[in-house]
Amino acid sequence: MKGEIVHDGDIISFTGRFNIADMREVTSSLEGITASETILNFTNCKSIDASIAARIWSVSEAKKRKGISLLCQSMNTDIQKTFARFRAIDNRSIAPAPKRTLLYNFEDIGDRVLATWDTVSGLLSFTAQAFRALFSGKVRGPITAYYMEQSGVMAVPIVIALNWLMGVVLGYQAGYQMKQFGGELFMPALLAYSICWEIGPMMTAVLVAGRSGSAFAAEIGTMKVRQEIDALEVMGFNLYGYVVTPKMIALLIVMPLLVTVANFAGMAGGLAAGGFFLKMPSAVYIAEVRKALIPFDLYWGVVKSFFYSTIISVTGSYMGMRVRGGPAAVGKATTSAVVVSIFLVILVDALLSLVFVHLRPGLSL
């Protein structure tokens, strides 16, 4: 028997069986209610499905906000049970999104600023706690070695490949431009400076953020979702010491090595580009590089890598720790870890560049 709705003054009677096909009729009947108190009579109603119950529930909530009450009467047990399923639903998930007024836009901006501030202050506080644990706790050797292998040894091939290719591209493009003015002999120096000062450390940081930062966030986020972090906390473990510092220590050890490897791979790429495209003998390329570089240039990459490794390990761990809810939150944390890490790496790189020009011997503005 199909559902039928009868209006009788302030009483709306539902008769028969209602399902999703009756949605339009139910919605228009309920939304047309203007009386301050209306009775919904279910005496002759056999059943309603979940979609109709949800609609009655959401419309009644919307009406309630306008001061209009809907009172239910004479439901059979099945209908009562169907309604009971929606009792726990938060009405905001059913109600439409608020209209985007000018005030709403300002509030939205304010909310975003506050949320960003929350993240920044949380990250700073997390970093402080992580350093405290780093200097006060004991080192978990085996697990630190595991992360060193995962983040360092396993990353060597991709770091070499990417930086070698960057060296080839830079060497070829710089050499090609310079050759037009007969200055191809300056290519090795230009390339060595670019690689050691910027490209090597930066590319390595981006790669490690993508590989390890995301892995840290996913690992800790999954532990959060599975309540393993809660279990550790209840047992009295220092979470920073147990979960975060092995990752920090591992990156602090392997990143300088990776950056050094990256620098040499990049310069090797330049050597290949010089030999292949500019017909530059290897001995000339190497001599020019040695003439241009001083040990400070190689140390500088190592110094930068300490900052980058701290940023990547702490940001990845922090984003993992912030996970609330289910697996979807882990995915978001992973994305945030990579995006925020790379942003902070570039920001710190810019600040370090300001310091660099004052520190490097033989470089003046």
Partner 1 sequence: MYLSLSHLEKSYKDPSGNNLKVLGPINLSVETGEFLCLLGPTGCGKTTLLRILSRLEQADGGKINMGSGRLGYVFQQGALFPWMSVESNVIFPLKASGTAGGECRSRAEEMLNQVGLYEFRKNFPHELSGGMQQRTALARGLVTEPELLLLDEPFASLDTRTGISLQEMLRNLCGRLSTTVIFVTHNIEEAVFLADRIVVMGHRPGKIVRDEILDMKWPRNRLSSSFTEILLSFRRTFEKLVDPLTSSLTEGKESEL
Rounded distance between C-alpha atoms, residue 20 and residue 48, angstroms: 9
Binding status of residue 83 toward partner 1 by CB under 8 A: yes
Among 87, 99, 100, 358, binds partner 1 (CB under 8 A): 87
| Candidate residues 70, 217, 265, 272; the one interacting with partner 1 per rule CB under 8 A | 70
Cα separation, 307 vs 320, whole angstroms: 20
CB 84, min distance to partner 1, A: 4
User: In the complex with partner 1, which residue's Cβ is closer, 12 or 170?
Assistant: 12
Residues 179-238 that bind partner 1 (CB under 8 A): 226-228, 230-231, 233-237
Q: Using the rule CB under 8 A, is 353 a contact of partner 1?
A: no
Binding-residue pattern over the window 22 to 51 for partner 1, x denoting contact by CB under 8 A? -----------------xx-----------
Q: For the purposes of burial, counting CB atoms within 10 Å of the CB of 195, is it exposed (0-12), middle (13-18) or buried (19 or more)?
A: buried
33 φ, ψ to 5°? -70, 130
* Least distance in angstroms from the C-beta of 149 to partner 1: 15
Would you count residue 328 as binding partner 1 (CB under 8 A)?
no
- Min CB(232)–partner 1 separation in Å: 8
Give me the helices (H) in 209-326, please.
214-225, 228-234, 239, 245-277, 282-292, 295-321
Spatial contact of 152 and 250, defined as CB atoms under 8 Å apart = yes
Q: Does 80 bind partner 1 (CB under 8 A)?
A: yes
For CA atoms 160, 165, 170, 171, give the dihedral sign.
positive
Task: With contacts defined by CB under 8 A, name the span among 60-68, 166-174, 198-206, 311-319 that binds partner 1.
Answer: 60-68
Beta 37-41 vs 11-18: how paired, if at all?
Answer: parallel
Question: Is residue 73 close enough to count as binding partner 1 by CB under 8 A?
Answer: yes
> Considering just the CA atoms, what is the radius of gyration of the chain in Å?
32
Residues 6+ apart with CB under 8 A from 30: 12, 55, 56, 59, 60, 63, 70
Contact status: 72 vs partner 1 (CB under 8 A): yes
CB of 237 to partner 1, least distance (A): 6
User: Which residues, 6+ apart, have CB-to-CB distance to 32 below 8 Å?
Assistant: none
Stretch that binds partner 1, among 1-9, 18-26, 67-75, 181-189 (CB under 8 A): 67-75
CA angle (202, 208, 211) in 5-degree steps = 140
- Rounded to a whole number of angstroms, the minimum distance from the CB of residue 257 to partner 1 is 26
Nearer to partner 1, 69 or 282 (CB): 69
Interface pick for partner 1 out of 35, 84, 109, 347 (rule CB under 8 A): 84
Cα distances (angstroms) measured from residue 114 to each of 119, 307, 314 = 9, 26, 21
Considering the rule CB under 8 A, would residue 94 count as an interface residue with partner 1? no
Q: Considering the rule CB under 8 A, would residue 112 count as an interface residue with partner 1?
A: no
Q: How far is the CB of 233 from partner 1 (least distance, A)?
A: 6
Using rule CB under 8 A, residue 365 touches partner 1: no
Alpha-carbon distance 299 to 312, whole Å? 20
Using alpha carbons only, give the angle 335, 313, 149 rounded to the nearest 5 degrees.
105
- Count of residues touching partner 1 (by CB under 8 A): 32
Residues at the site binding partner 1, with contacts judged by CB under 8 A: 39-40, 56-57, 60-61, 64, 69-75, 80-81, 83-84, 87-88, 92, 111, 226-228, 230-231, 233-237
